[in-house]
Amino acid sequence: MKRRLRQSVRVIGIFCAFIAAISSISSTTAGERNDARVSQAIHNVQLLAANAGPRPASINDNVRPGTAVRTGSDSRAELAFTDRTLARLGANSLLSLRERGFDLANGSMLLYLPKRSAGARIDTAVATAAGSGFTAMAEYRPKSWIKFIVLEGRSSVSLKHHPDETHALRAGQMITVRAGAMKLPEPQDVDLSKLIRTSLLVTEFPPLPNLTLILSEANNQQISPPSSRVIDPTGLNARDPRAATLRPAKP
């Protein structure tokens, strides 16, 4: 009886140690995934850490959750994460890093999530885009509108204060949400070829790791046009001075 009790205690101890080890590995991996470095800093780019004043960003600066990145006029930045995720910022933008995603307070961004990534979300005061293994652009103008475009893969968009209002987006689709919206409009098809030719978030950085897949989606759009009208997605930092003033057509 005592021997069986000792064996049971030993098995439980081994099991608990195993669980603790797995938890430790998972925690470490999650932490590493959230670590990023500045891989591009063009003109006026600043890092805003908690309880610290803004400082100019330099290549290879570490950026941890809780830190914000701010770009000035005619400025751009790129963050590279340890899991190969890339986050790019256009001019006059403010982006905060969170444990599992990004808070876009203003401006435009491009997010590339590798296929094997754990996924992430882009939060704004109006709507949220989430998914894994996709490339998307977002442009947010506070108290005005937010738009999301998927270049490759799939994502879902939901209203911040009405999370049951959700739409799935595939490559080549855009959704524009007005401030105060209680219902999501239907997604629209955009001209992917024009977008990747004109957006500085694509053209003024090194080629995206999945550029071939994005070009393939653009080519498929030309071969088999969608049934709805393909619209011009101008405004996602296609030209820095104009990006802040252009407004999308009403859906």
102 bridge partner residues: 97, 122
Per DSSP, helices labelled H in the chain are: 2-34, 192-198, 200-203, 211-223, 240-243
Q: For 142, phi and psi rounded to 5 degrees?
A: -50, 140
Q: How far apart are the first and last CA of the chain?
A: 75
Angstrom distance (rounded) from CA 237 to CA 106: 12
CATH of 35-243, one of 2.40.50.140, 2.60.120.1440, 3.20.20.140, 3.40.50.12280: 2.60.120.1440
Q: Which residue has the higher pLDDT, 229 or 60?
A: 60
**Could you tell me the residue ranges of all domains in the chain?**
35-243
Alpha-carbon separation of residue 176 from 38, 50, 152, 250 (angstroms)? 29, 32, 18, 8
Q: For 205, phi and psi rounded to 5 degrees?
A: -135, 165
Report pTM. Answer: 0.80
Residues 6+ apart with CB under 8 A from 202: 110, 195, 196, 208
Residue 19 has pLDDT above 70, yes or no: no
Confidence grade of residue 241 (pLDDT, cut at 50, 70, 90):
very low
Mean pLDDT of the chain: 83
Of 24-33, 110-119, 189-198, the least confident: 24-33
Confidence grade of residue 6 (pLDDT, cut at 50, 70, 90):
low
Angstrom distance (rounded) from CA 125 to CA 179: 8
pLDDT in tens, 169-224: 999 999 999 999 999 999 999 999 999 999 999 999 999 999 999 999 999 988 98
* In the block, residue with structure tokens 């403010």: 94
Q: What integer is the mean pLDDT of 38-46?
A: 97
pLDDT in tens, 130-145: 998 999 999 999 989 9
Residue 246 has pLDDT above 90, yes or no: no
